[in-house]
Amino acid sequence: MSAEIDKQHKALEFARQHANTWLKLDLLCFWGRYPHAKFTADAIARTLGCKRRTDVEEALDSLVKENLVEKRTDKALPFYCLTDDASKRECVLDIRAYRSSLRPALSMA
């Protein structure tokens, strides 16, 4: 198995484990785009075009419990950012890189 195929397979398994909804997949791809930034749930919801911020908050809290996203508070306002864990960050970045091939694979699972 080539290194590229192995990396894509690892991204698919990571997505199956952590992105069990399309919203979570979108959030992980969002963090792949902005791996060094912090955002409020409202800003993320607007960026993703999600009309129900509570859905985004629930998905973010789930990713926080899985230690993929961190929740920090600044002046009583919660912000979210991608984990500092290097191996998890790499997996999130790979999800974004293989997003087009992950959606069909995840739909069939």
Terminal Cα-to-Cα distance of the chain (whole angstroms): 22
Task: Work out whether the CA dihedral 10, 16, 19, 22 comes out positive or negative.
Answer: positive
Token pair recorded at residue 35:
């791996």
Do 105 and 12 contact (CB within 8 A), yes or no? yes
In the prediction, which pLDDT does 59 show? Answer: 96
Q: For residue 51, is pLDDT > 70?
A: yes
- pLDDT band (50, 70, 90) for residue 20: confident
Q: For residue 74, is pLDDT > 90?
A: no
Token pair recorded at residue 15:
């997505």
**Which one has a higher pLDDT value, 56 or 1?**
56
Is 3.40.50.2300 the CATH number for 3-107? no
Average model confidence (pLDDT) for the chain? Answer: 87
Q: Calculate mean pLDDT across residues 102-106.
A: 61
Do 18 and 68 contact (CB within 8 A), yes or no? yes
The rounded distance, in Å, linking the Cα atoms of 5 and 57 is 33
In the prediction, which pLDDT does 106 show? Answer: 61
**What single-letter DSSP state applies at residue 72?**
E
- Sheet with 69-74, edge to edge strand ranges: 38-39, 77-82, 69-74
In the prediction, which pLDDT does 103 show? Answer: 64
Q: For residue 108, is pLDDT > 60?
A: no
Q: Calculate mean pLDDT across residues 76-86.
A: 94
In the prediction, which pLDDT does 98 show? Answer: 72
Token pair recorded at residue 107:
């739909």
